[in-house]
Amino acid sequence: MTALPAVTSLHALLAGRPAEAACEVEIGCGNGHFLAAYAADRRDTLLIGIDLKAHRCRRAQEKADKRGFTHVHILQGAAEVFIRDLPPRSVDAFHIYFPDPWPKSRHRKRRFFTGENLQVLVDRLRPGGRLHFGTDFFDYYLQAKVLVALHPLLRLTSEPAPQPVLSSIYGQRFTEAEKAIRIFTAERSALPDDQGQQDKDQRQVDRDVQANEDR
Ligand SMILES: C[S@@+](CC[C@H](N)C(=O)[O-])C[C@H]1O[C@@H](n2cnc3c(N)ncnc32)[C@H](O)[C@@H]1O
């Protein structure tokens, strides 16, 4: 895993901020097209982009700076490490658009969206926070959606994805190629953690009862 300037920069970025201040994070922000479009209407939100590649981070930060977006900060490093450094319940939304799909089955374990990383994301989301995930890769979409559907504190919502998602480089590329792009949004429960599990169990019981009655 890459050595991480991200960790130090993150501490400096968060130091002195009120705990309730709004914050959203894009994982794998690439050249920053999504954040640059998304940031215009969110001047009160700290928007953090993280990417492994230094040159992409540089371009993304330049894009934000050119527009005078002082609330956008791009950090370089591995997102897996970075998310563990975020304070619990401090993030209003995570955005993950077109993450590397690692299509070969022997490489799948390199995908970012694993059960382990998902648990860290959920721990860092505020109650009611959002997790947005989009990909053109059906197999990855299924993997991510199943993990989310099974998580006791997450609920898939029907709300539309943040519109600028298709303005990212890959969003534009896949749109032009007319590839199917699948995006979901999940909401973190506003309930206490154990109540979230009970709630999900109860919904399953209700579904089972209903299925029996329908037979
Ligand atoms: C396919 S590109 C998509 C970029 C952008 N989201 C878009 O839609 O244009 C995936 C991006 O994720 C970054 N990336 C891959 N693995 C990462 C990791 N472990 N942590 C942070 N960024 C990562 C890559 O450097 C690349 O910029």
Average pLDDT, the chain: 90
- Ligand 1 centroid to 26 CA: how many Å? 10
Is pLDDT above 90 for 92? yes
Look up the pTM and report it.
Answer: 0.88
Question: What does the pLDDT read at residue 201?
Answer: 65
Among 95, 93, 40, 97, smallest CA distance to 70 is for 40
Question: What does the pLDDT read at residue 200?
Answer: 63
| Residue 47, H or E segment | strand 46-51
Q: What is the mean pLDDT of residues 10-31?
A: 93
Q: List alpha helices for the chain, DSSP H.
A: 5-14, 33-38, 54-66, 79-85, 115-124, 138-150, 169-176, 193-214
Ligand 1, from 27, 52, 96: best to mutate by most atoms within 8 Å of Cβ?
Answer: 52
Q: Which CATH number fits domain 5-12+20-214: 3.40.50.150, 3.40.50.1820, 3.40.50.720, 3.40.50.1360?
A: 3.40.50.150
Per annotation, catalytic residue among 44, 51, 65, 100: 100
| Per-residue pLDDT band at 3 (split at 50, 70, 90) | very low
Is pLDDT above 90 for 35? yes
Is pLDDT above 50 for 4? no
% of the chain residues with pLDDT over 90: 76
Question: What does the pLDDT read at residue 7?
Answer: 44
Residues 169 and 137: beta-carbon distance below 8 Å:
no
Is pLDDT above 60 for 109? yes
* pLDDT tens for each residue of 141-184: 999 999 999 999 999 999 988 989 998 999 999 999 999 999 99
Q: What is the mean pLDDT of residues 54-70?
A: 96
Question: What does the pLDDT read at residue 194?
Answer: 53
Ligand 1, from 9, 29, 96, 108: best to mutate by most atoms within 8 Å of Cβ?
Answer: 29
Question: What does the pLDDT read at residue 12?
Answer: 86
Question: What does the pLDDT read at residue 15?
Answer: 87
* CA–CA dist 156, 145 (Å, integer): 8
Question: What does the pLDDT read at residue 9?
Answer: 81
CA 37 to chain centroid, in Å, comes to 17
* pLDDT tens for each residue of 64-84: 999 999 999 999 999 999 999
Residues with CB under 6 A from ligand 1: 28-30, 50-53, 56, 78-80, 97-100, 112, 168-171
- Ligand 1 centroid to 213 CA: how many Å? 47
| Per-residue pLDDT band at 199 (split at 50, 70, 90) | low
- Ligand 1 centroid to 212 CA: how many Å? 45
- Ligand 1 centroid to 151 CA: how many Å? 24
Question: What does the pLDDT read at residue 193?
Answer: 60
Question: What is the CB-side half-sphere exposure of residue 153 using CA atoms within 13 A?
Answer: 23
Query: Domains of the chain: which residue ranges?
Result: 5-12+20-214
Q: Is 85 a catalytic residue?
A: no
Q: What is the mean pLDDT of residues 108-137?
A: 97
